[in-house]
Amino acid sequence: MIVRLERRTHVPLHLVVIAPLAAIFTALLLAAGLIAAAGVNPLMAYGEMLTGAFGSRLSITEMLTRATPLIFTGLAAAVAFRARLWNIGGEGQFFVGALITAWIGHSLGVLGWIGIPLLMLAGMAAGAALLAGPAFLRLRFGVDEVVTTLLLNFIVILFVGLMIEGPMRDPLAFGWPSSVPVDGDFRLPDLIPRTRLHIGLLIAIAAAGAVWLILARTVFGAETRAAGLNASAAAFAGISLPRTIMGVALLSGALAGLAGSVEVMGVTAGVTTTMSPGFGYAGIVVAMLAALHPAGVVAAAVFVATVFVGADAMSRATGVPSFIADVIVALCLLTMIVALLFTTYRVRR
């Protein structure tokens, strides 16, 4: 008996919905084995995780605060991956967006309602410029962007460390390595009083809507999808692949840079090398769980934020190390790849 994979001519809507749910369920089931090996009832552990993320007003707002940058980085990865531009550099683009925002925002002499959008544009420009380099190297010399974007993450973080220990060091940080903060007029307003949740969440949701409109209702979006589905056919149809890939790179990098800008203006005020627990890398998981759909990115970001925030509470209540959150997120990525395989192909005997 010969078993082969046959590409589906059309992917049913129910498979698109079921695939991420099945991937998440499988990942949680596999992680449950590790939790049980630690001597803890997995159901009790997951119950504590949900309580930690949704059990109070504070926990819900903290979860949504964590989800905000994940929406931006998830959108950045989703846009790039749709065109088969493998942007693994969301972490570096996040940090350059944050750094330029703190640098300009510390001494920008304009009113807050003017300065906030200007700082966001500056962060977007920094992130876009960082990804434009690897995109150019791919188009001009065929350099693999997976390697260049990944390595740029480490270069950027080292550069950030240099800047916050040197010219951008905050003299009021009592020796803690932190950049100078943005001016108080440029802090994003709180969405809910006396919490860390800020209007960046609304900006992130608006960004998801804007990305959906661009991809679904514009010529650029159609060219992006065509370049991702079949680059040779797209070129034969007259689409300029270099222009499309560079446009996708600028949009993807801008979204990741915006994540860093919003995080500085909404949460941290200044830049530290530890301000991101891996938002850029987790954005890849968010994009994959969303099947690269902008609307799904919002839901996937909330799920990943729930895991990270809830894992801390679960660790305190059960003694299971909070690193189980990283394991669950990594398993979600692997199981989603398998789920996408079976939604794109059917098994024939």
Q: What residues form DSSP beta bridges with 179?
A: 169
pLDDT at 8 over 90: no
The pLDDT value recorded for residue 347 is 79
Alpha helices in the chain (DSSP H): 13-37, 42-54, 57-82, 90-105, 112-141, 145-165, 200-217, 219-229, 231-236, 241-263, 279-289, 294-318, 324-344
Give pTM, 2 decimals: 0.95
Mean pLDDT across 196-223: 96
The pLDDT value recorded for residue 176 is 85
pLDDT at 109 over 80: no
CA dist 155 and 93 (Å) reads 11
The pLDDT value recorded for residue 21 is 92
Evaluate whether 71 touches 336 at the Cβ level (below 8 Å): no
1 pLDDT tier (thresholds 50, 70, 90) = low
- Sign (positive/negative) of CA torsion 225, 228, 230, 231? positive
pLDDT at 334 over 90: yes
Radius of gyration of the CA atoms of the chain, in A:
21
- Domains along the chain? 11-348 (1.10.3470)
Evaluate whether 99 touches 271 at the Cβ level (below 8 Å): yes
CA dist 346 and 48 (Å) reads 38
Which two structure tokens, joined as six digits, stand for 272?
């530290």
Mean pLDDT across 229-251: 94
CA dist 300 and 67 (Å) reads 9
pLDDT at 309 over 80: yes
Average pLDDT, the chain: 93
pLDDT digits (tens, 9 = 90+) for 247-271: 999 999 999 999 999 999 999 999 9
pLDDT digits (tens, 9 = 90+) for 110-157: 777 899 999 999 999 999 999 999 999 999 999 999 999 999 999 999
Amino acid in the structure at residue 274 = T
